[in-house]
Chain A
Amino acid sequence: MSKKYIKIETQANIENLAPIRLCLSTFFSNLNIHVDELVDIKTAISEAVSNAIDHAYDKDNGKVIAIGEIEGDFIHIIVQDFGKGIEDISLAMTPTYTTKAEEEHAGMGFTIMESFMDEVIVDSKVDEGTTITLTRRIRQRQSNI
């Protein structure tokens, strides 16, 4: 089955969060996904990209690559950074765990990704970077009239 994809490469700057989120969710809206499902996907994208932009680099000069893929009934979101990496992935994925409590982070990013997507894979190496791969099977299509 042929795979469709879109790939965005940007600076890891907070200004780029909304454009990446909008671009990938618009790409997936081509599938005529039910609006509630699309909002859940958009939320998961926002969590993964926020993680790369906000946690990977101490300065603004890093790079983030965000890829959206459509493969039959499955969608994949891949968010890659080349920053500091995550030392303890299972700790980072623990609900309410955050390294940025002083910035009022709730530590719910991975919990939301896991709740809204079918599969969350985190691959990270300290000082090399992190790749988050999210997969979801599309349940509901809107009628395409």
Chain B
Amino acid sequence: MVNYNYENNKLEIFLNGEIDIKSCKALRGIIDGYIMKYGPEEFVLDLSEVTFMDSSGIGLIIGRYNLLKLLGAKMTVINASENIKRIIELSNIKMECVRYE
């Protein structure tokens, strides 16, 4: 469900499959575990393999954003599909943390 890569103070998390209230419950714990383990300066959430996301994904992104802000780290969300971008844009997620490549 989650792959990760850590090097040069940068933690990358690669999500895949469907993000909904069920998968979010598990993902929160796993992602925060990696964040607390490595204490990265830079955090990248890669959504390229995510096939579906509803508003629970917005909660997941905002929650990690707030945690990383407390830790003084920078967060970016990359490779969201067009549909997921529209969901993110409906919310008030600070857009500077969302980068599309």
Which residues of A are at the interface with B, using a C-beta cutoff of 8 A? 14-15, 17-18, 21, 36, 39-40, 42-43, 46-47, 50, 53-54, 95-96, 103-106, 108-109, 111-112, 115
Contacts and interface: CB of A to CB of B under 8 A. Distances in A.
B76 interface: no
The SS class assigned to the A binding surface is: helix
B63 A104 contact: yes
Contact of B55 (A36, A53, A103, A109): A109
A40 B83 contact: yes
Contacts, number: 70
A100 B63 CA distance: 13
The SS class assigned to the B binding surface is: helix
Interface size class of B (residues with CB under 8 A): 20 to 34
Interface in B65-101: 82-83, 86-87, 90-92
16 contacts: A14-B21, A17-B21, A17-B22, A18-B22, A36-B83, A46-B20, A47-B55, A50-B56, A105-B55, A105-B56, A108-B58, A108-B90, A108-B91, A111-B91, A112-B54, A112-B87
Contacts of A95: 92
B83 A106 contact: no
A104 B18 CA distance: 18
B54 A50 contact: yes
A106 B59 contact: yes
B54 A46 contact: yes
A108 B58 CA distance: 8
B5 to A, nearest CB: 24
Given A18-B20, A40-B83, A104 B92 contact: no
A15 B86 CA distance: 26
A106 to B, nearest CB: 4
